[in-house]
Structure 1
Amino acid sequence: MGLEQLLLVADCWRCLDRSVPSYLGILFSYANLHWRDLTLPQFVQLLYIIGEGRRSPADLVQKVESAILKHLDAFTLEELGAICLGLFKSLSGISDHVMRRIADRVSLQMEDMSTYALVNVLKMLRYTRMDHLPFMRELGKVIPARIPATNIQGIMHIALTYSSLHFFDEDVLAAVATSLPSKVSYCRSKDAAKFLWSFGCLDYEPPNEEEFYSSLIKQLHAKLHEFSKFPEHLLTALLGLAFVKRFPEELIDFALREEFVQKTRGSKYELEKDLFTLGKSVEIECPSYRGSRLPPQLCQEFTEMVSSFAEQEIYVRPEIVEATSLLESMLGGPEYVKNHMILPHTRSSDLEVRLAADGCPIPFNFKDPMAAKKLKGMGVSLTDDLMSQLLQGRAHNRSPTEEGSEAGIPGRERGDAAGTPCSGGALPAGARSWAEPNPGRWQPREVRLALQVSNRNHFCYSSKRLLGLHCLKRRQLRLLGYVVVEIPFWEWFPLLKRTRSEKLSYLHYKVFCPALLTRAG
């Protein structure tokens, strides 16, 4: 057969929904040998078949990119959509340069492109994580009016593109939210999960938020049988809900059962961090929850895993190292500041500082080797007795997170106070979480600061709008009694190039001003 016949037969196998990897191997080898003979329609059809076969022939990748660049202006807009779909489905790597050229072309003629083809371009834009501002701005003008006539999977891919690229556009998200309830019955488990993730990731609650969330939660219940096969979708959905302070207890109980947890352990995706974030968030924000919980030993395993990553990738970041060093110098030594994750399940670090009622820093970080070395150099032996004296009684000065992680006992077994159900929001007035600080364990009027050295990845694209995970973290730190102090990257990064005295002055204001305001309140 010639190339025309090979492509036709491959498409027939696709229509019959049959996987024919050996036949596709023959087709790809033939195409590689006769590459120069491919017409543009044949090239588009070949890319489409590569996508349906879900694999990318390694020896064709470079040729595909060269052909796209060579004929970019000759492709119709619909052909560009088909090419992007093929690349996306086959998980083909594509260079930023090629994707940017495609986005350049589409952004100039977007109004003339069908929604189906445009969504296919969005899939590839999301896959390559391309921050193409002209494309996204034009999309914000074109797509809201089309959303009511778009099928549910297309709408899902639109919403997911915005969340994956951390791009907030209220007009687009509001249009999605308005159209979804009437179409929610067409959502697969994957679609419902990704809608919830997208809105939670961008920390957006639409004008019809109750209708929007209740319809999707109802659909999750309807698709509950699918989550045993696709556990990642349920965790995605529940995390998206947690970001916006919604905790449907029946679904959470299902997700934290031992049999479901075992399914997540066997998944091809790494779901441990998501499971950890969900489990610990429920402990902090849902005082009345009496359903399944993560076993203490599993939480300890997850904590060690996250901490190991943080030691290698987070604590050593220059902006954090510099802030830690300057705070130690300003406050009196490494025993006055601790660079760690107060809440390991939120996956980012904090600089913890403690202040007494008179505003004086309190030493507490005696496990830090530098702090111990400094005390030894002063002729002080760091015995358990001395530790007890310095901390005014170890049991009375431990943070609730330290106590919970060391004891390894879930809050339900510790018999903490219950409150009203948490399925619809955060803690009700007067309710207490198991992890909320017990006043007897804190020094009188002690102020604990959690300083957040933020970076661009904590915010929506080119804005100061916090992403859902970081909103959740700050909310939970406040529930635990911490005063959250932001050291935003737009202030701190420029200061890194300035003098030491300027940086110290900035940090001094950050540490002491919030504490003074808190004590005054």
Structure 2
Amino acid sequence: MVLLAQHLARHRLREPQLLEAIAYFLVVQEAQLNSKVVQKLVLPFGRLNYFPQEQQFMPCLERILAREAGVAPLATVNILMSLCQLRCLPFRALHFVFSPGFINHISGTPHAPIVRRYLSLLDTAVELELPGYRGPRLPRKQQVPIFPQPLTTDRARSKYSHKDIVAEGLRQLLGEEKYHQDLTVPPGYCTDFLLCVSSSGAVLPVRTQDPFLPYPPRSCPRGQAASQPTTRDPAQRVVLMLRERWHFCRDGRVLLGSRALRERHLGLLGYQLLPLPFEEMESQRGLPQLKSYLRQKLQALGLRWGPEGG
């Protein structure tokens, strides 16, 4: 069953019947499974953005996490990463992995860098998606950028990506001073293209604007209410998101869990997202058509720019 789970995840095969079979196996074999095996069984659910219908799926995982959390720290965090993509993080497990004892335990281990990155992402999910959570959090000094550069799959498939031609289209349309490319925004998400836009819809020169929205998205310390209203930055940040073919499950309709998570978090941080689906980009024949396509996309958001970009 582990081999099946790995095969589905590796090849982005979102097959409901097979995934349900894995979920059922996980439930009926709960007592015999350790967290190192469970992390492999759970991986395709998060990666393929699929929450099973098996009603005991989450209760089973919560029991396994409670039993195994102190035994295999990396496996524990891997399981939570899959659940984070599914938007169902158990509070009890979060209490454990954010505890000083757990953090100190992993600090001297070989996998400490990757665990700290995953814990940073989990802390971001708590900040943005779990307003009711009141347990421990990852200390600021322990936090690291989540995805400070394009993901490995994007780098490996760069020659198939639309990024270069989109960048050239934006350069000719807006001017190269009107957008950022591959900019990492707090708490560590790498964006494809970022525009700063005035309240009237004008695309602003990036050198005149702070491209980052604040993180955490509230100005007060964690757990405290703001005593004074904050001044809202009048400039919007628009993020153009390339949705390449390999960002989806094999059927081409459902975003992979990691991609959906990134878009969800950027939206919650206050960035306005403009997806560029691969089907639309692939239908453009050459740079002139792509440039026209980008113009239509930007104008549909009410954006405008000077004649030098036309």
Fold-level similarity (TM above 0.5): yes
Residues 309 and 453 from structure 1, CA distance in 2 versus in 1: closer, same or farther, beyond 3 angstroms? closer
Match of 1:488 among 277, 281, 294: 277
* Partner residue, 2:65: 220
Please name the residue that 1:501 is paired with.
288
Counterpart of 1:161, as a letter, is H
2:172 to 316, 319, 329: 329
From the superposition, tell whether residues 183 and 307 of structure 1 become closer, same or farther in structure 2 (CA, over 3 Å).
closer
SS in 1 for 2:239: strand
Q: Does the CA-based 8 Å contact 1:328-1:337 persist in structure 2?
A: no
Contact 1:156 1:194 in 2 (8 A): yes
Partner residue, 2:308: none
Q: Which amino acid aligns with 1:257?
A: S
Change (3 A) 1:207 1:333: same
Structure 1 unmatched runs, 5+: 1-154, 367-386, 418-437, 517-521
1:258 aligns with 2:47: no
* Structure-2 residue corresponding to 1:170: 16
- Counterpart in 1 of 2:203? 361
Structure number with higher helix proportion: 1
The 5 A counterparts of 1:436-455 are 440-443=231-234, 447-455=236-244
CA distance in 1: counterparts of 2:258 and 2:58, whole angstroms:
18
Is residue 233 from structure 1 mapped to residue 75 from structure 2 by the alignment?
Answer: yes
Distance 2:248 2:149 in 1: 25
CA deviations over 1:495-515 (Å, ceiling 9, x no partner) = 4xx433211111112223245
Q: Indicate the SS of the match to 2:148.
A: helix
Equivalent residue, structure 2, for 1:474: 263
- SS state of the match for residue 507, structure 1? helix
CA distance in 1, matches of 2:23, 2:62: 14
Does the 8 Å contact 2:27/2:57 carry over to 1?
yes
Q: CA deviation at 1:173?
A: 0.9
Indicate how the Cα distance of structure 1 residues 296 and 322 shifts in structure 2: closer, same or farther if over 3 A, else same: farther
How far does residue 159 in structure 1 lie from its aligned partner after superposition?
A: 2.1
* Alpha-carbon distance change, 185 to 307 in structure 1, aligned in 2, over 3 angstroms: same
Residues 1:199 and 2:45 are matched in the alignment: yes
Q: Structure 1 residue 476: deviation in Å?
A: 1.4
1:291 matched to 2:135? The reply is yes
RMSD: 3.3
Q: Give the corresponding residue for 2:148.
A: 307
Q: State how far apart, in whole Å, the 2-side matches of 1:309 and 1:465 are.
A: 20
Question: Could you list the per-position Cα deviations for residues 443-486 of structure 1 after superposition, in whole angstroms to 9, with x for gaps in the alignment?
Answer: 1xx54322111333322235232111111111112222333222
SS in 1 for 2:138: coil
Say whether residues 1:243 and 2:85 are aligned partners: yes
Task: Specify the SS of the correspondent of 2:70.
Answer: helix
Which amino acid is 1:285 matched to?
E
Q: How far apart are 1:249 and its partner, in Å?
A: 1.8
Distance of 1:237 and 1:514 partners within structure 2: 38
Structure 2 counterpart of 1:349:
191
**Contact map agreement 1:296 1:410 (CA 8 A) in 2:** no
TM-score when normalising by structure 2: 0.80
Q: How does 1:28-67 map to 2 (within 5 A)?
A: none
Q: Give SS of 2:273's match.
A: strand
Distance (Å, rounded) in 2 between the aligned partners of 1:411 and 1:469: 28
Once residues 265 and 6 of structure 2 are traced to their aligned partners in structure 1, the CA distance between those partners, rounded to angstroms, is 26
Contact 1:326 1:504 in 2 (8 A): yes
CA distance in structure 2 between the aligned counterparts of 1:411 and 1:237, rounded to whole angstroms? 29
CA distance 1:332–1:439, shift in 2 (3 Å) = farther
Q: How far, CA to CA, are the matches of 1:361 and 1:168 in structure 2?
A: 39
State the SS of the aligned residue for 2:289.
Answer: helix
Q: Secondary structure at the match of 1:465?
A: coil
How many angstroms apart in 1 are the aligned matches of 2:122 and 2:133? 13
Cα shift at 1:161: 2.4
Matched, 1:399 2:213: yes
1:294-315, Cα deviation, whole Å (9 max, x unpaired): 232332xx22x953677xx85x
- What percent of counterpart residues are identical? 24
Q: 1:412 maps to what in 2? A: 222
Residue 512 of structure 1: which of 280, 286, 299 is its match?
Answer: 299
What is the CA-CA distance between 1:343 and the residue it aligns to?
5.2
The offset of 1:344, in angstroms, is: 5.2
The verdict on how the C-alpha distance between 1:360 and 1:345 changes in structure 2, with shifts beyond 3 A counting, is closer
Measured against aligned partners, the alpha-carbon deviations of 1:182-226 in whole angstroms (never above 9, x if no partner) come to 332222112333333221111111223x42112211221122331
Larger relative contact order, structure 1 or 2 (CA cutoff 8 Å, min sep 6):
2
* CA spacing shift, 1:306–1:477, aligned 2, 3 Å: closer
Instruction: Say if 2:124 and 2:187, in contact at 8 Å, map to a contact too.
Output: no
Distance 1:440 1:307 in 2: 28
Q: Which sections of structure 2, spanning at least 5 residues, go unmatched?
A: 304-310
Match for residue 280 of structure 1 among 118, 124, 127: 124
TM-score, L = length of structure 1: 0.50
Higher strand share: 2
